[in-house]
Amino acid sequence: MEPAVISDYKEPAPLAKEDPLTSMMRRFDVAAHLLNLEPGVYEYLKTPVKQIVVSVPIAMDNGEIKVFEGYRVIHNDILGPSKGGIRYAPDVTLDEMKALAAWMTWKCAVMNIPFGGAKGGVRCDPSKLTPLQLEKITRRYTANLLEILGPERDVPAPDMNTNEQIMAWIMDTYSMHMKRTETAVVTGKPLILGGSLGRKEATGRGCMIVTLAAMERLGMKPKDTTVVVQGFGNVGAVAARLLWEQGCKVIGISDISGGYHNKKGIDLDKAAEWTARNRTLAGFPGGEPVTNEQLLELACDVLVPAAKEDQITRTNAGKINAKIICEGANGPTSAMADPILQERGILVIPDILANAGGVTVSYFEWVQDRVGYFWSLERVNRRLEKMMKSAFTAVYETANRYDVSLRIGAYILAIDKVAATLKLRGIYG
């Protein structure tokens, strides 16, 4: 069977859907076509290895039983144990997990990390759950996945609405069942439980490193560069701050409560103080209020969408007013928006490269846990910088060689690597 390749990237079907799985598959198809991927290999790489749906019942505080649905999708484990975060959100779906798991496979391959790709989640609204309920959900979800998880099998990490505490509960639940402390079963843990220095900031730091690398290619100097960041969580706030420290002027920031624009530049210390005190940016006095939609269309040099999926779509791609987009989130741009941005000459640093700093330091954490020797922050950051820069160069060169966008270049690099590994390992059976 011929793979369903798309002959011309610039002619998407007008009514094509804009969701993570459609977007991931569309880019995968384009790259597979350019690589002349064998139909069997195409079929193999497009299909997740495992898709697990578990029911997660917990007793609420009044004794009433509530049942949540949990997922873990392992897209591929040919390069090593599968790796990827766990998210808690009311709109988590299996299809979304499939897209995010595949992105993890491509991300690890782009970064040259010996991991496959996975993603998990529980459909719940964490803002409506007490810490005790969250702990119960986490422990039951972990217990349901015991045969899947393990330092040599599948290694979760934080993602949307999950944090160090949740990773600590995963580690403890798994360890209780194994009858030994097994720190390397999960990354993004608190430092005293075998976490790594620099892990929390790693995704935002990675964004900063690749943005500077892209700016250098375009001859842009930090002091003349304006930046807008969507999302003020673990990724956006750190990316904004580090770009600011590099001398860039951050003129727009936002979170779920809305955005703030200040042409003279936003004081990131004040923004951080504000969110530490008020939890969100709501009411922040350091700029003119704008909506999240308006924020994305602000005139700037670098736009960092670091909030959630499908923020830049065919509807607003024509109105994006930036030279560089650095995708801090997973899937913030739909595949339908890709050709529009490309035509307008906007350099997009794709998510599977731009936000790979997180999984890279997760890899460092896993290595440190297994060796039992912990690195200094300086060593973590130095190694992260080296790996991000060389991945950027590899993606840039692949894109040039094939005359495609950085995104398709990254997919080509990743798919080629996984396909080559598959060829060497062969198909068992």
Output 195 or 286, the one with its CB closest to ligand GLU: 195
In angstroms, give the least distance from the CB of 85 to ligand GLU: 3
Tokens of 150: 């393990």
CA distance 260 to 295: 8
Separation CA 201–CA 72 (nearest Å): 25
User: Cα(260)–Cα(290) distance, rounded to whole angstroms?
Assistant: 6
Q: Which is nearer to ligand GLU, 161 or 226 (CB)?
A: 161
Catalytic choice (98, 107, 119, 249): 119
d(CA 338, CA 120): 26
Whether 223 is catalytic? no
Of 308 and 314, nearer to ligand GLU (C-beta) is 308
As measured in angstroms, the least distance from the Cβ of 157 to ligand GLU is 3
67 bridge partner residues: 57
Closer residue to ligand GLU (CB): 134 or 353: 353
d(CA 166, CA 185): 13
Distance in angstroms (rounded) separating the CA atoms of residues 376 and 167 = 22
- Quote the DSSP letter at residue 82: E
Minimum Å gap between C-beta 29 and ligand GLU is 22
Pinpoint the alpha helices (H) of 112-130: none
273-276's contacts with Cβ under 8 Å and 24+ in sequence apart are 275/232, 275/237
User: Which residue ranges make up the site for ligand GLU (CB under 6 A)?
Assistant: 83-85, 157, 159, 187, 330, 355, 358-359, 362
Distance CA 245, CA 381 (A): 16
**Could you tell me the smallest distance in angstroms from the CB atom of residue 352 to ligand GLU?**
9
Of the two residues 352 and 404, which places its CB atom closer to ligand GLU in the complex? Answer: 352
Compute the least distance from the CB of residue 22 to ligand GLU, in Å. Answer: 19
Catalytic residues: 119
